[in-house]
Structure 1
């Protein structure tokens, strides 16, 4: 008898799907019951054959041969039934020594399994060699670049974001953030940060273009709003001053400001050079002056401690979180689309970057080496988990896994015993 052919592997469940354990267990139990009936039926058939041969009054050679074969088949079937049953329980409930092997040795099996995993799986030779052959970086890159991967990851992340946002709206979280982040901000020295930022901005040509563009906008605004400036000067002038004089004063103010701005717009003008000198002095003070740093940080701390500022920050976070929740509720969420596109681009870039793939392989190997240092604890954990299992449950599970195939031992023992009995009878008859 040959065991059942293995079933073809089924496709792995997608992310979020639950494996159908109940259908697997039902199928295993059906196979176990079927094979157990077959083995028992074969043993009963041997017993019936043996009984039938004794009903023959004058048995001939053939009848005696069948009797010998069925008799040996009964012995072989009973012996293998005893052996298979003794693995999982006491045969016929009799507490015979060295039976119910699995229930009585569950803890030892757990320790042996833990040591086996520790000594033969969690070793550098086995684990690192497998990782090198797996080319995990290349596989991860290929998986990320697949069109169907980004939507799955994005869907999982987007599903978790609303819960995360609602958790962050807790008052306890806000108080914790104010204590931790607020303290970090108060201890941060902003002066060198601002100084370096201004220095980097002024050192780039783009900063000059932006500065000149801002001056041009200001000049255009002054030119477009001359009438309003005239009105402001007239409202603040004395009643006895003629309107003509007010207009000349307003025009002079606007012209003076525009001349100053035009001077600033010229890179080599004295005004621009003086402005650059003042900016360089400010940068030097921010980087090197303790007094300037103290004043700036004191102003920063006063601003952070002001209730209106804290209320404004809270309102900004509230508006931002509600905007995000509203967007996530839409079927065509912009955040989801952006996340999918970003993940897909990362996957495509990673798939074409062998150096990054090698870096991922190296990171996984370093992680594997770190895990190997815990192999003693992992082996102990496996033994502890097996020890905590219910004995009856462990026995039932193991019998579901291997019990169906073990019934073939009973069938084969019955058949081989019958064949051996026939052979012994033939040999004995030949020599007597």
Structure 2
């Protein structure tokens, strides 16, 4: 477009030179020459105006030229103030979001796999997430996450939580399968270590019992008694030993909630675990597996959004799309969040815009603003050429008539 505008100026110059040679042949040639002459003036004037916005015409130090590079700091502050006053105020954000059903749009997006697949930015965002996760120091990041969890757990008193959970499980009789599983485990453990138990009894028996062979009978009796006890506990819900176990569990649940000594003991165990190097090593391994899983998921967004997870996402979208009350809650949350961001971080956002523009050099801001306005700058020159020519013809006609 710059070449077109310049070519039109050269064309008007050529028309002017030719028409000037034949101005006496016909009165109409005078109109053509007047049009070309005024068109050149208009083209040159608008070229100067457009050029003066971004640079000095012909490199000459003419006052009030190169306006944008010279005043870029003031423009940056003005732009930031305009953005803050007209876009990032809580009132403007709330009014803009009031008529938007963000939740329904989100539900339709999640419910329709075709729409999710059409969003090309998803792959770019996923790749960006993967690169960020890969670029971060895994040990340092893991330590930071561990430190955050440790800080939160350190403020949380776990003893009452455990006591209430255990009490609720006992009230709902959900602890019975755990007792049965423990009894079965004890039986299997005894069976697997029967030889060890027999050896212990033989070693503790005196010489007389070993000489008479009563130690073997004693070992058989002990093992049979233990097997019989475990079997009776397993088949009899009202067995006295089971009752004692349940009584102990109920007492433990009460102590975890109400006994200061027990609560202090549990808190001590919690702090020891949080300070344990073994726990830190275990957590680092867990975090590494989580990080690699997130990277793999980001590298393969299509696979993540397919299968069972994709079905769950689609069901969530259907639920949001078909529930006006849920949409109202989500929209209210979105409005409050956006208003909170505008209110809390609006100044930082516009300051970022202002400081970014101020850091640009003269050439950068010239290229970016000129590129953003684009072809319209050259249409100013073209329009100036044509309008100037029409004005020249009009003036020539009035002069001819008078």
User: Shorter-chain TM-score: what band?
Assistant: 0.7 to 0.9
The alpha-carbon deviation at position 208 of structure 1 amounts to 0.9
Equivalences for residues 1-80 of structure 1 within 5 A: 35-56=1-22, 58-80=24-46
1:422 alignment partner in structure 2: 393
Hey, what does 2:216 align to over in structure 1?
247
Paired residues of 1:263 and 1:272 also in contact (CA < 8 A): no
1:199 aligned onto 2:199: no
Secondary structure of the corresponding residue to residue 267 of structure 1: coil
> Does residue 373 of structure 2 align to residue 402 of structure 1?
yes
2:201 corresponds in structure 1 to: 233
Q: In 2 relative to 1, CA 119–318 (structure 1 residues): closer, same or farther, beyond 3 Å?
A: closer
Cα–Cα, structure 1 residues 163 and 420, in superposed 2: closer, same or farther, change >3 Å? closer
Question: What is the root-mean-square deviation of aligned Cα atoms in Å?
Answer: 4.3
Change (3 A) 1:351 1:323: closer
Gaps in structure 2 of 5+ consecutive residues:
none
With normalisation by structure 2, the TM-score equals 0.75
State the SS of the aligned residue for 1:206. Answer: coil
Task: Give yes or no for contact 2:146–2:283 (8 Å, CA) kept in 1.
Answer: no
Residue of structure 2 aligned with 1:118, choices 84, 93, 97: 84
Match of 2:48 in 1: 82
Q: In the comparison of the two structures, how many residue pairs are matched?
A: 388
Q: Distance in 2 between matches of 1:134 and 1:198?
A: 47
Q: Distance in 2 between matches of 1:406 and 1:50?
A: 25
Checking the alignment, whether the CA contact within 8 Å between 1:165 and 1:321 is kept in structure 2 is no
Return the alpha-carbon distance in structure 1 between the equivalents of residues 159 and 92 of structure 2. Answer: 55
Q: Aligned residue for 2:241? A: 271
Q: Secondary structure at the match of 1:62?
A: helix
What is the CA-CA distance between 1:357 and the residue it aligns to? 4.7
Indicate which of 115, 123, 138 corresponds to 1:166. 138
TM-score by length of 1: 0.70
Measure the CA separation in 2 of the matches of 1:369 and 1:329.
33
Instruction: Give 1:249 deviation, angstroms.
Output: 1.5
Q: CA deviation at 1:237?
A: 2.2
Taking the TM superposition and a 5 Å limit, the aligned residue runs for 1:92-171 are 92-144=58-110, 146=113, 148=117, 166-168=138-140
Change (3 A) 1:71 1:230: closer
Cα distance in 2 for partners of 1:375, 1:304 equals 39
* TM-fit CA distance, 1:113: 1.9
Q: Do 1:75 and 1:417's aligned partners in 2 also have CA atoms closer than 8 Å? A: yes
Q: Does 1:372 align with 2:338?
A: no
Q: What does 1:337-416 correspond to in 2, within 5 Å?
A: 344-354=310-320, 357-373=327-343, 374-402=345-373, 404-416=375-387
Query: 1-side partners of 2:380 and 2:292: how far apart?
Result: 64
Structure 1 portions without partners, runs of 5+: 1-34
Distance in 2 (CA, whole Å) between partners of 1:396 and 1:225 is 83
Shift of 1:370: 1.8
Q: Deviation of residue 187 (structure 1)? A: 8.0
